[in-house]
Each structure stands twice: as C-alpha cells, then as structure tokens.
Amino acid sequence: MSGNEWLTERFEASRGRLRAVAYRILGSLSEADDAVQESWLRVSHADASGVENLEGWFTTVLARVCLNILRSQKSRREESLEVEASKPGAVVEAKSMDPENEAVLAESVGLALLVVLERLAPAERVAFVLHDVFDIAFEDIAAILGRSSAAARQLASRARRRVRGASRGSGVALSEQRETVEAFLAALRSGDIDGLLAVLDPDVVRRADRFAVPLPDARELHGARRVAEEVLKYRDVARVARPIQVNGAGGIVVAPAGHLRTVISCTVEGHRITKMEVIADPERLRRLNLAVFPD
C-alpha cells in the first residue's frame, strides 16, 4: 500500500468523527462537509511521515479550517438576519425549513444550543466544543488557537458560563419553567387546544413586536382562549422551536437550521404561563441573554 493510499484509508476511517466535530463547531451540515473536505485537501498535500498521532493531526487541521469559517461566517449571518428581518412578520415563516435537516440538528446537538453557540466568539466556540464535547486537552486546543493553555482554558470557561446561564432568582425554579414551556410546545405541536389552555393562565397576555406581528391591533392579545387559537396558526413553526433560557427565565427559541429568528419570553407562575412576549426585532434579539436549560 502506497503512502497516499494509507493516509487516505486512515482519513476515511476518521471521517465520521471529523464530520461530527465540524458540525458541532459550525452548526451547519453543508459547512461541516466542506470543512472536512478542505481538511483532506490540506492533509493529502502535507508530509505525514513524522506524524505520530494521525487522529489528533486530522482534528487539528479540521479545527483550524472551522475557525477560519467561523470568523468569515459571523458577519455573513448577521447581514442575513438584517435582510430577512427587514420585512416585519417574515421571521416566523416556515416555508424554507427542511424537516429532515431540522430533525438531525435537534437530535444531534439541539437547536437551542446551536443558537447559544452561534453567539460565542469563534475562539470561544472552538475551545468549548473541542474540550467540553470532545474532551480534547487544552494544550492541543491552545496550539490550534495560537494561544497559551491558560488562555484556551479561560475561553472555554467563559463560553461554558454563557452556554449554561443562570437563573435570575425570580422564585420560580428553572425546572418548573422548563417543564411548563415544554408542555406548551408539546400541545402546540400536536394541535391540542385543551393542552394549551391547561398550560396558559386564564388571564395570560401575549405581546409581540412589529417584526413578529405586523398589524398593530394584533400585537397584544388577552385571555387563554384567544392566545391558544392564535398560536395554533404556528403549529408548523413549533417543530423548530425549543425551550431556552431568556434573560435567566423560561422561554422559547425559533431557530430554523439553528439560526436565531424569534424568541418568546415567558413568565411562569404556578406551572402556567401568565405572560408571553414575542421578540423578532434583530436589535432586541442581539441584546437578549440566551442560555440552554440545565439537563
């Protein structure tokens, strides 16, 4: 077996793991595949004769490719959000959603986590994913990022705090808030209006900004029945909606392909939602403190 054939065989054996690493760093299946292929091109043109740990080398090359992609894609995604949000009401449409891809995203990483990861700086995201998800040593991460081990550790720690968030101490446990939001989403996805009424306070108030609801008269609704009937119109959108912490409290994120479009902040009292605020204004979305719920 020639040297190139041997390297090809070893890379192909690692391709599945490399794709998993790239997907969790980039949050996009197509970009993950592109990153793996770019990594192979770099590896295949390099001298591997002195490499003792091929798996580690492959991961290092891939992580550097992903870091470059993250740095270039951050500005593109912000511009994309601005363009799509320029039309009020457009951010909650589900026409372009791919159910198969969404299912993969939800099962493998979680849409809420992808949204939070996307808010991290590229170096923070790489450090967090490589260490916390794939248990790669900080010494190796430091070499990828071109920083010291202590700096790499600090980046991962900062990212971890942002990902996990913290309760704002409202008196309602995060577990209760999460259970209530999950019950709401389950009822919405199944079209169960009685289930929605059971989780909505009779006097619930739903407010929305103009980017989510264009018509001024429809931006505020009162009463469980009216709110339940209105949210049922978005049953299809609910499949890309997940529970999330919003400013330390319970909420819902709508994120097709893991890219933030709409956030619903919920106030929970006695296992019922008393207030809902639908936020789709790009500027307001950027200011929100979002975090995943603890397992």
State pLDDT tens for residues 36-50. Answer: 999 999 999 998 888
Q: What is the pLDDT of residue 76?
A: 56
What is the mean predicted confidence (pLDDT) over 183-208?
A: 97
What would the pLDDT profile of 260-280 be if each residue is shown by its tens digit?
Answer: 899 999 999 999 999 999 999
Q: Which CATH architecture has domain 1-75?
A: Orthogonal Bundle (1.10)
Mean of all residue pLDDT scores within the chain: 87
pLDDT at 83 over 80: no
Give the confidence band of 92 by pLDDT, cuts at 50, 70, 90.
very low
What are the helix (H) ranges across the chain? Answer: 3-26, 29-44, 54-85, 99-108, 111-118, 122-128, 138-145, 149-164, 174-190, 193-199, 224-231, 282-287
Q: Which CATH architecture has domain 174-291?
A: Roll (3.10)
pLDDT at 211 over 80: yes
Tell me the two tokens of residue 212. Answer: 């989510």
Give yes or no for a contact between 240 and 102, defined as CB atoms under 8 angstroms apart: yes
Percent of the chain with pLDDT over 90: 68
Give yes or no for a contact between 114 and 27, defined as CB atoms under 8 angstroms apart: yes
What is the mean predicted confidence (pLDDT) over 67-72?
A: 92
Enumerate the domain spans of the chain: 1-75, 119-164, 174-291
